[in-house]
Structure 1
Amino acid sequence: MAVSIVFRHRVQQALRLTALVALTALAGCSFAPKEAGIGEAVSWQSLDGWQKDQQAEVWPGLLLQCNKLRKKSADWQRICTAADQLDNPNNQQARVFFEKHFQVYRINGTEGRKDGLITGYYTPLLYGSLQKSERYSYPLYQKPADMLGIQVKSCADRSARCRGRVIGDQVMPYYSRAEIDGPGQPLAGQELLWVDDPNAAFFLHIQGSGVIQLDTGELVSVGYKDQNGHAYKPIGRVLVDNGEVAREDISLDSINQWLETNPQRADWLKNQNPSYVFFYLSDKTESGPRGSLNVPLTNERSVAVDRKIIPLGTPLWLSTTLFDNSDYQRLVLAQDTGGAIKGPVRADVFFGRGERAKRLAGHMKQSGELFALLPKPR
């Protein structure tokens, strides 16, 4: 009898332990973070600010990208045909159009987060010349003739493009920023033009495009053509890590001020970012620079994203704040990419040209949420 009681007691203990393990496993499943990327469908009512936005401002950009997207899929063909039939819609008509043709999906961040980093960029104005002179002595380069685009599945750094050059019978990594701007000047003879400010030229590499006022008075545009294959490293992070600028004070203005205050160390800091951008020259000054989708960007309605996660052309609902903590909620279009724009909940807002755009972009480093508007199936 005693043995039977002991055995029954041990069985009951084992059952309780099994149940506890099962409950723990179920609890772990219920709280497991959602997979990063475009996730579950949500309702339009879940978009804070949707009814207050001026969605008609997106319409010109939508029509421009339709020239590219209608050939990509039957869904976009159908959507673009319907958009063609709406002539200059008001905000309510544009809102109804998106609700009719699209379904909203939350974009989940890494480690179960719903939010991510929202930054900004703008079109800078520089002063330059097509001829080198004492004033205009800092070059902007075209895509080098000897740079190879290497199509392989694995590279030393997957965050950058594979670019190389041939030395003897070997393909070596392409020149870094320090090498290109160093005393060896390996790209001499491949300049597009020269500008008068080395720091402005550096920031132009970060923005990816800009407008140059030539010494003749003419305005020309320079756009992103290619990149040297080295991973982008933000120099603001270098300043913070080295204790030069407090983390809460880092911005475009504070970085530029540091460069101007420390000219003897400016090259050292800029060379911490080995990424280097090559440009093309255009005499057309469109309403906005062309993004990776090859359509002109729209002020505060175009964003750069990680195209590995968010397809180019995707309408997005952006919910964030500006540097003064005022709400910034709006419909935008994923029309561009960038070397530093990596991850699911990550967007870079194009603010346009001028001092306001420069101020907003320079201070934009906010937490925000993204929602993808994907075409409803027929």
Structure 2
Amino acid sequence: MVHHTITTKSTRANKASSKISAMIKFPFLNVRRAGARWLLAAIVGSLTACSVAPVLDEPSPSGPLATPPTADVTSLPPVILQAKSRWVPVPWSELPGLEQDAVHEAWPAWVQSCTRPSPAWAALCPEVRQLAQAPVQTQRQWLREKLQPYRVESHTQQSEGLLTAYYEPVLNAERQARPGFQVPLYGPPADLNKRKPWYTRQEMDTLPHARAALRGKALVYLADPVDAMVLHIQGSGLIHVREPDGRQRMVRLAFAGTNDQPYKSIGRWLLDQNLIRDASWPGIKAWIDRNPSRVNELLWQNPRVVFFKEEALPVGTVPPGPKGAQGVPLTAERSIAVDRSSIPYGTPVWLKSSGPQTRLDRLVLAQDTGTAIVGAVRADYYAGSGPTAGELAGRMKQPLQMWALWPR
């Protein structure tokens, strides 16, 4: 999932699933990619060398990990090193809110990850599936018996990081341009892989040869260029599209590529110009409302553009979430984007975060990534779709602690 949150640093960058999580894990906080998710400002973790254990792309489930669930600190397994993090084993009692979280709400996300399990999880995934309808206490007891919690830290032993959020916009569009709907969203141009980087956002709007390359590539047309920017930052979106014959249907526009230009935060530009003090997405939109003649000037500050592909959705059902970088649909409020060099895809993670927007002590699944999601203790929280999720994603920027749960 290219996901992307506004912040002065997404995604979001651009989706890899689709996306732009600049991911508005907001217009400029995250740019992500879901399946591909998104880009945004990068938080670079310190990668000081450490000799506690060999660096692993993925911790091995074998070895001294047979600690009984009631083991005290003296019998815990050794530290595991990832490329950008160290995992410190801890007793289950260290995890906040374990008895209060409705862990069964995370199980659908876990079952999704088990459709594409890594070797470390292949043996346990049948049990994960069997427990999908089990009582929450049974699920919680299974976690304690089968998994070992590890506190995620940087190589310099910093255990607190940053949580942002991203979401999937829901927008109205027309299949063909008409008055009031003039803002195109494009599929990849034929020469996208031949010219790197491809044209910037401003060049796409102004240069005849760039416009010629995009002829016939418009998938739908939106009414508002700012909505288009939001979609670019988040990386994917649900679109109510009206066909030429008047039929209405919902489709998903998912991440299909980018112009390989760098992501630049429009919120950061507004702050640097002393034009706003509130760099949240609502603050940016308020400035735009006051300065409609400067919209293109603002949008051109971000040269990065995402190209989309259209995905059909089942009729009459709640659409599944967009696919994240793991290749499975995301689950609202139970999926996160992480730095893959810190936490492998498909890893269950205990997340703790308290801030002005929300308090979270819960089980989530690492299923996505984004170029702005960098560092040991860094996550982008998938808030879901629609305006309520967008409001949360646009403002969330708060402290984070994480514990990776790994097979014993």
When normalised by structure 2's length, the TM-score is 0.73
Q: Does 1:233 align with 2:257?
A: no
State which of 38, 52, 60 in structure 1 corresponds to 2:86.
38
Shift of 1:183: 4.5
State which of 166, 182, 194 in structure 2 corresponds to 1:121.
166
8 A contact 2:101–2:361 mirrored in 1: yes
Shift of 1:175: 1.8
Q: Which runs of 5+ in 1 are unaligned?
A: 1-33, 149-164, 167-171
The one-letter code of the counterpart of 1:225 is A
Q: Does 1:287 align with 2:320?
A: yes
- After TM superposition, list the pairs within 5 Å mapping 1:276-315 onto structure 2: 276-284=305-313, 286-315=319-348
Q: Does 1:200 align with 2:227?
A: yes
Aligned partner of 2:33 in structure 1 is none
Deviations 1:101-142 (A, max 9, x none): 222222224765321121111111111111122222111111
The one-letter code of the counterpart of 1:344 is A
Alpha-carbon distance in structure 1 between the residues aligned to 2:404 and 2:190: 39
- Aligned-residue RMSD, C-alpha: 2.2
Alpha-carbon distance in structure 2 between the residues aligned to 1:234 and 1:344: 23
Alpha-carbon distance in structure 1 between the residues aligned to 2:145 and 2:406: 11
State which of 361, 371, 396 in structure 2 corresponds to 1:364.
396
Q: Does 1:77 align with 2:122?
A: yes
Q: Secondary structure of the equivalent of 2:127?
A: helix
Q: Structure 2 vs 1, CA of residues 327 and 220 (structure 1 numbering), >3 Å: closer, same or farther?
A: same
Alpha-carbon distance in structure 2 between the residues aligned to 1:355 and 1:323: 18
Shift of 1:355: 2.9
Q: Structure 2 vs 1, CA of residues 118 and 264 (structure 1 numbering), >3 Å: closer, same or farther?
A: same
Aligned partner of 1:178 in structure 2 is 202
State which of 118, 135, 138 in structure 2 corresponds to 1:93.
138
Q: Does 1:317 align with 2:350?
A: yes
8 A contact 1:109–1:116 mirrored in 2: no
State which of 107, 126, 140 in structure 2 corresponds to 1:59.
107
Aligned partner of 2:379 in structure 1 is 347
8 A contact 1:123–1:352 mirrored in 2: yes
8 A contact 1:116–1:367 mirrored in 2: yes
Shift of 1:320: 0.6
Q: Secondary structure of the equivalent of 1:50?
A: coil
Deviations 1:203-246 (A, max 9, x none): 01111111111123211111112222223222222222222222
The one-letter code of the counterpart of 2:240 is Q
Alpha-carbon distance in structure 2 between the residues aligned to 1:217 and 1:78: 45
Alpha-carbon distance in structure 1 between the residues aligned to 2:296 and 2:343: 35
| Greater than 4 Å deviation, 4+ residue runs | none
Q: Secondary structure of the equivalent of 2:240?
A: strand
Q: Which runs of 5+ in 2 are unaligned?
A: 1-80
Shift of 1:177: 2.1
State which of 222, 233, 255 in structure 1 corresponds to 2:253.
222
Deviations 1:245-284 (A, max 9, x none): 22xx321111122222222222222222222111110121
Q: Structure 2 vs 1, CA of residues 257 and 77 (structure 1 numbering), >3 Å: closer, same or farther?
A: same
State which of 169, 184, 189 in structure 1 corresponds to 2:216.
189
Q: Work out which of the two has the higher radius of gyration on C-alpha atoms and give 1 or 2.
A: 1
8 A contact 2:84–2:341 mirrored in 1: no
Number of equivalences: 317
- Taking only the aligned residue pairs, the percentage that are identical comes to 39
Q: Secondary structure of the equivalent of 2:274?
A: coil
Q: Which protein, 1 or 2, shows the higher relative CO under an 8 Å CA cutoff with sep ≥ 6?
A: 2
Alpha-carbon distance in structure 1 between the residues aligned to 2:271 and 2:90: 39
